[in-house]
Amino acid sequence: MLKVINSSAHPKKARRPHAHRVIAENLREQILKGELAAGTELASTQDLADLWKTSKSTAHTALNQLVKEGLLERKHGSCTFVRERRLALTHMGIYYDSPKVWSDEEMAFYRSLQALLEEKLAKLGMQVTVFVDRRPQRKQRTVLPELARAVELRKIQGLIIPTGNDFAVPALLRLPVATSILTNDIEFSNRVNLSAENVFRNLLSRLAAKGCRSVGLISSVDDESQASNLPEAMDFSDLFLREAESFGMQTRREWLRLPKKYVYEKVLFGYNQFHELWAEPGHPDAVIVYPDVVARGVLTAALELGVHCAGDVTFCFHKNAHVDILCPFPVLWAISDEAKIAGALIDQVRRQYAGKSVSPVLFEHEIQETPGVGKSSKSQLRSGSTTTNSRG
Taking only the tens place, the pLDDT of each residue in 247-291 is 999 999 999 999 988 888 999 999 999 999 999 999 999 999 999
- Dmax over Cα atoms in the chain, in whole Å? 81
Q: Where are the beta strands (DSSP E) in 166-297?
A: 178-182, 191-194, 215-219, 256-257, 286-290
Mean pLDDT throughout 73-82? 76
Which one-letter DSSP state was computed for residue 282?
S
Q: How many residues does the chain have?
A: 392
The domain ranges of the chain are: 2-82, 91-182, 195-336+365-387
Query: What are residue 330's DSSP bridge partners?
Result: none
Topology at the third CATH level for domain 2-82? Arc Repressor Mutant, subunit A (1.10.10)
Topology at the third CATH level for domain 195-336+365-387? Rossmann fold (3.40.50)
- How far apart are the C-alpha atoms of 151 and 157, rounded to whole Å? 7
Where residue 372 falls among pLDDT bands split at 50, 70, 90? Answer: low
- How far apart are the C-alpha atoms of 212 and 203, rounded to whole Å? 11
Q: What is the pTM of this model?
A: 0.76
Fold match, 91-182 / 195-336+365-387: yes
Query: What are residue 332's DSSP bridge partners?
Result: 316, 369
| DSSP letters spanning 131-157 | EE--S-GGGGGSPPHHHHHHHHTTS-S
Other Cβ atoms less than 10 A from the Cβ of 152: the count is 11
Long-range contacts formed by 179-185: CB under 8 A, 24+ apart? 179/68, 179/348, 179/349, 179/352, 180/344, 180/345, 180/346, 180/348, 180/349, 180/352, 180/358, 182/113, 182/341, 182/345, 182/391, 184/225, 184/226, 184/228, 184/229, 185/228, 185/229
- How far apart are the C-alpha atoms of 8 and 88, rounded to whole Å? 28
CATH code 3.40.50.2300 for 91-182: yes
Q: Would you say residue 179 has pLDDT above 50?
A: yes
pLDDT of residue 376: 40
